[in-house]
Amino acid sequence: MKPATEEIREVVARALDEDLGSGDVTSRAVVPAAARARATLLQKQPGVLFGLKAAAEALRQAAELEGAGEVAFDPMVVEGQWREDVPATAARVSGSARALLAGERTALNLLGHLSGIATLTARFVRAVEGTGARILDTRKTTPGLRLLEKAAVAAGGGVNHRIGLDDAILIKDNHAELAGGVGEAVRRAREAEPELELEVECRDEAEVREAIAAGADRLLLDNMDAEGLRRAVAIRDEAGGPPLEASGGVTLETARAIAETGVDLISVGALTHSAPSLDVSLKLEPAS
């Protein structure tokens, strides 16, 4: 999942509008308009860096708003790789001092947030390494930032679930209740959208069997304990059924035990709704 340049531009424009308002009054009062500066973008915590394009776009747009010419942004790292030896230089930047100051916080907010998601994802991927299970994200994203956040998950080694409500069918308990049961919900969905992947949430063994019999493409095992997951895996294996996805309250401490039950996928809402930001900073100095 790679957000298009236009999507990055739109996200950055909204963020800068929120932060700058009518302009950076402090820098305009203190820093001469002609002043130039160099800056070093630093990764200060171990983890996976992601979001340099968004950071560069924030500084570019800030320079445009200041009427200050171009900002040079030179990445010094490959995104998506775990870095342990920190602090380390992530990019070198140069341009109008006012522009760099105006765009600094927006650039760091985006980079730190997206890198935090990539880092937490990488920790989950490491936690289940060797089991064959893959880590999925969810739709529990920050409004307006979904594509960027899902791209960060992918950078951390995770797998993107559906992007929105229109690209796959996921029959949850409320859908099944309103349709008159899992089997009937699957039948209706197949009839309405035969080309879309169809996943069904299952809460117990009976629903697992019903969903497999109905021909679901994937089963979402919601909030089942380890024993329940193992029984669902056994039922699936016996029936030659579809991939199984475990979901609900998954943590770094429980992820491996869940993976070892034999499920194929583990979805983790915390990747996008609870990842702490990675510590990054921008150090400025006057250009000679």
- Both tokens of 224, joined, read 């089942």
Domain check: are 248 and 154 in the same one?
yes
Which residues lie closer than 8 Å to 168 by C-beta, 6 or more apart? 162, 196, 197, 198, 199
pLDDT tens per residue, range 132-183: 999 999 999 999 999 999 999 999 999 999 999 999 999 999 999 999 999 9
Domain check: are 158 and 23 in the same one?
no
Domain check: are 142 and 107 in the same one?
no
Domain check: are 150 and 89 in the same one?
no
Domain check: are 172 and 64 in the same one?
no
CA distance 101 to 142: 26
Answer yes or no: is pLDDT of 70 > 90. Answer: no
Structural domain range at position 88: 5-125+275-286
Report long-range pairs for 197-206 (Cβ below 8 Å, ≥24 apart): 197/168, 197/169, 198/168, 198/169, 198/171, 199/168, 199/169, 199/170, 199/171, 199/245, 200/170, 200/171, 200/176, 201/170, 201/171, 201/172, 201/173, 201/176, 202/232, 203/173, 204/228, 205/231, 205/232, 205/235
Active site residue 140: yes
What's the domain count of the chain? Answer: 2
CA distance 156 to 135: 10
Q: Among the options 205, 222, 260, 279, which is catalytic?
A: 222
Active site residue 44: no
* CB atoms closer than 10 angstroms to residue 206: 10
Active site residue 283: no
Domain check: are 133 and 263 in the same one?
yes
Q: Among the options 38, 44, 172, 188, which is catalytic?
A: 172
Active site residue 201: yes
Residue 67's pLDDT band, with cuts at 50, 70 and 90, is confident
Domain check: are 133 and 221 in the same one?
yes
pLDDT tens per residue, range 166-176: 999 999 999 99
pLDDT tens per residue, range 106-131: 999 999 999 999 999 999 999 999 99
pLDDT tens per residue, range 22-48: 889 999 999 999 999 999 999 999 999
CATH number of 212's domain: 3.20.20.70
Q: How large is the average pLDDT for residues 54-60?
A: 97
Side-chain-facing half-sphere of 111: CA atoms under 13 Å? 28
CATH number of 109's domain: 3.90.1170.20
